A and B are shown apart, each in its own frame.
Chain A
């Protein structure tokens, strides 16, 4: 049961070979046992989860279940869930119990899935290592001294360690794909606007997008079928016809044009990562795909543009945490200004404060044009590069991260080095494109490598098709960390 994928568990539930209560108890048990080793969860609430499991079983017994009915799903602690503590890994929201469900949570509830717990992450999704958490760092299931990536590190680690078959995450600059790569699981960030941001605590509104982790691509298709869809409460939600993301899974890859950006295969990538990625490209060719060299000439500007735009938006998005209405308030202060200063100084961690300061600076009078407006121009250029590239190819492939997982503490003192961990993943967020990462091998210290697959707008079904065909031909995604194998 531990090794079973989401799709397999769904089949077992439907055939009544397993019950949701059994799966839920097993997941809760594994989460509890892995607590010290991984620190992947911030909050679990067994009573609530089991109550959901019982009603899922009743639903299945009535013959009414959907694919996700009865499946334990872990949610990044950035999604508000009614009655659940929702912290965003911050001291600021340590005692915040959400009074409403995020759209994503509501969709999973409606599908009959079981909310198994809220996963640990970088505070307010700011980070690439899941070390920036008020609740302590998350550890990589492949090696406890290494980071799982971030910011959705708890979700990635939980899926990699077989605590849960699937989990949600959010991706602003790589926060699903990079931890998926570093933990050896599959993760997808859909086209901006497909997953409602309502109830998903904002980091950088124009870049944030909800997505999913699972063992394999076909499971991600089931997750997207639940998560996506128009929501009138999010003005950036796209009103499009519902689609079945699994519809193209079995399509052969013959004739597929795979774009290889020359800028991604130059310097900067570690040799172990390069070897794994090149192996994956060879596998795609063997499946009938053609590779074409493409160019994304402005890709080198994506990190600097991102680190202007994301902090700018964050500086305003996080201003509401002021100690007035909810959340943390400093115990002692002299006056109103002092309350704001002390509350925010004490309630936020170092990386969050760094980004608020950067964001405030780039929006300030006299700097706005040089930073914010310039970064917006760069953003448009990057989006244009992709549109041009997709006239030559169907998907773009490369490394998800330039390195395998790094040691806990290794990059904490050097934020720029940390930021470069997302050098390949940021551009699709700036362009609003869908992108995913699938396991494609192992590198130094036996740590996993991820293959980055970027699709055109609304190209999720084709990307999942590519990933699924690749996963039928390979078994990287079936490898489990020894300490957590079934």
Chain B
């Protein structure tokens, strides 16, 4: 009998504010230990938190993007526990009343589109870091990260495979960057997931879950879930019981191991933080943020499908990042009247994506911008260059040789469409290849292609292919 895997994710997205959640200290990554920790961050006596408006605004942007409810009053609460990386010995988070409730994202998994519901998204501060190296048996404490603003996004247990969970995580990852609230840098920990995994027989109630902590790559997320599901199935099939616990994924060994069980779980003693008044969000503020929201990926995909008749796979690739989607929109606008949106899409998903991937850049940072690409497409459509030459021109543009026109002029790539010059070349080719001429006349169409190739070679590809075809047919039939 089959097992069904049930997965819910808790995702921590570091909000891209310049200063911390409750202090004015900077948030830049990679500074020397404790150089970005203010009196508030190290919890000196008498210091007080003040909520960062920019972080709240980013949370609202997220709430609007997923169609959640923005609570007009949400409450910061203290989550109490002792650990050296937690200077106040409580984390300021949101508990009973988060800033965002509900909402959903649509993900594209192998089985098609699927809606994953969100439970909530709440604001909280990050903890510092312990450094275990270089201290001869002691631990160092770096509080640069303490107080960094996080949005914790909690999904419903709506995913049924590791692949779906990864698709959801990727969609969320693209979305937070799209709406510009998180840089998405997973190596630096700006976007990390905890996975709640359980298994059950289809139709049975939810099984006991285990939480796997701190998965900071999509590959680890996938492998950890697969491993954890296998572990649980083995236990259940062996007649055992799952113990609710928190587990840590070890990517080196590709296994999860127990951190703590429910029995030794903390009693966090949440209560409203008396240093912070309920977080009030006015209708006007929400409306102002809403009016500045970009068109979202789902809406873009639908529009690309309906307005430009693009296939689904193209709409997905073109909306991987907001930069790519905007690049597409701008190029389509710049080539209206001559190039089709599908042709533009082909350039973006082909040559442009290849270059971007090679250099690790987003379309918004492309060395060839939308108007330059439109200029290149214009030269194809006015017959100045062939599609094939266009690829060479594009490479040259990418390498900084200038606009399409500049590259074409500098490299002498303009097509030979002068009938007189071309006729001479065709005559020369026919004279030099009597065998192919005979073969063609004997009905071998292949010989014709070979003759076209010879002409193109003789012109270094600059001949207009349609014109070459017509001339050859005329001469050979004559």
Contact = CB atoms under 8 A, between A and B. Distances in A.
A and B are partners in one complex rather than unrelated chains: yes
A354 interface: no
Contacts of A80: 44-46
Contacts of B369: none
A363 B39 contact: no
B242 interface: no
A17 interface: no
B61 interface: no
B49 interface: yes
Given A100-B39, A326-B44, A235 B276 contact: yes
Interface in A330-346: 336, 340
B141 interface: yes
Interface residues of B, number: 28
Q: Secondary structure at chain B's binding surface: helix, strand, loop or mixed?
A: loop
Contacts of B269: 315-316, 360, 363-365, 368
A325 B82 contact: no
Contacts of A199: 46-47
Interface string B78-112: 10101010011110000000000000000000000
B78 A316 contact: yes
A57 interface: no
A320 interface: yes
Most A CB within 10 A of own CB, among B43, B45, B47: B45
A200 B44 contact: no
Contacts of B45: 80, 86, 88, 93, 96, 98, 201-202, 320
Nearest to A313: B274
B84 A363 contact: no
Contact of B46 (A202, A236, A340): A202
B42 to A, nearest CB: 6
A225 interface: no
A271 interface: no
B46 A322 contact: no
A234 interface: yes
Interface string B51-81: 1000000000000000000000000001010
Most A CB within 10 A of own CB, among B43, B82, B274, B275: B274
B48 A235 contact: yes
Given A198-B47, A232-B50, A363-B269, A325 B42 contact: yes
Contacts of A313: 274
Nearest to B24: A233
B76 to A, nearest CB: 9
Contact of B271 (A96, A235, A372): A372
Contacts of B141: 324-325
Interface string B265-287: 00101110011110000000000
Contacts of B90: 316, 319
Contacts, number: 97
B271 A368 contact: yes
B46 A99 contact: no
A84 to B, nearest CB: 12
Contacts of A100: 39, 44
Nearest to B266: A365
A13 interface: no
B46 A235 contact: no
A67 interface: no
Nearest to A86: B45
A412 B48 CA distance: 32
Nearest to B139: A336
Contact of A325 (B43, B50, B270, B276): B43
Interface residues on A, range: 35 or more
Contacts of A365: 267, 269
Contact of B84 (A316, A336, A372): A336
B44 A99 contact: yes
A184 B82 CA distance: 43
B15 to A, nearest CB: 19
A204 B50 CA distance: 17
Interface string B135-166: 00000010000000000000000000000000
A307 to B, nearest CB: 16
Interface in A360-401: 360, 363-365, 368, 372
B49 A235 contact: yes
A102 B46 contact: yes
A320 B87 contact: yes
Nearest to A366: B267
Contacts of B89: 316, 319-320, 322
A430 B45 CA distance: 23
A326 B46 CA distance: 13
A389 B203 CA distance: 61
A295 interface: no
B61 to A, nearest CB: 22
Interface in B219-274: 267, 269-271, 274
A205 interface: yes
Most B CB within 10 A of own CB, among A80, A205, A236, A322: A322
A360 B270 CA distance: 11
A96 B44 CA distance: 10
Interface in B1-59: 39, 42-51
A346 B45 CA distance: 19
Contacts of B277: 235-236
Contact of A198 (B48, B51, B80, B267): B48
A93 B44 CA distance: 11
A237 B49 CA distance: 12
B267 A364 contact: yes
B46 A200 contact: yes
A316 B271 contact: yes
Contacts of A102: 46
A324 B275 contact: no
Given A233-B48, A235-B50, A363 B82 contact: no
B275 A363 contact: no
Contacts of A197: 46, 48
Nearest to A202: B46
Given A324-B141, A360-B269, A204 B274 contact: yes
B276 to A, nearest CB: 5
A232 B43 CA distance: 18
B82 A319 contact: yes
A206 interface: yes
Given A205-B275, A235-B277, A316 B44 contact: no
A11 to B, nearest CB: 34
Interface string A86-116: 1010000100101110100000000000000
A234 B274 contact: no
A240 to B, nearest CB: 15
A79 B47 CA distance: 11
A336 B84 CA distance: 9
B275 A198 contact: no
Contact of B80 (A98, A234, A363, A372): A363
Nearest to A80: B46
A234 B48 contact: yes
B297 to A, nearest CB: 36
A38 interface: no
A363 B51 contact: no
Interface string B350-374: 0000000000000000000000000
Interface string A229-256: 0001111100000000000000000000
Contacts of B51: 235
A102 B87 CA distance: 20
A164 interface: no
B73 to A, nearest CB: 14
Given A234-B50, A316-B90, 12 more contacts: A199-B46, A201-B45, A202-B275, A233-B48, A234-B48, A235-B48, A235-B51, A312-B271, A315-B80, A319-B90, A325-B43, A326-B44
List 7 tightest A-B contacts by C-beta distance, closest first: A319-B89, A206-B274, A205-B274, A363-B269, A199-B46, A320-B43, A201-B45
8 contacts: A100-B44, A199-B46, A234-B50, A236-B277, A316-B80, A319-B82, A324-B84, A364-B267
Interface of B: 39, 42-51, 78, 80, 82, 84, 87-90, 141, 267, 269-271, 274-277
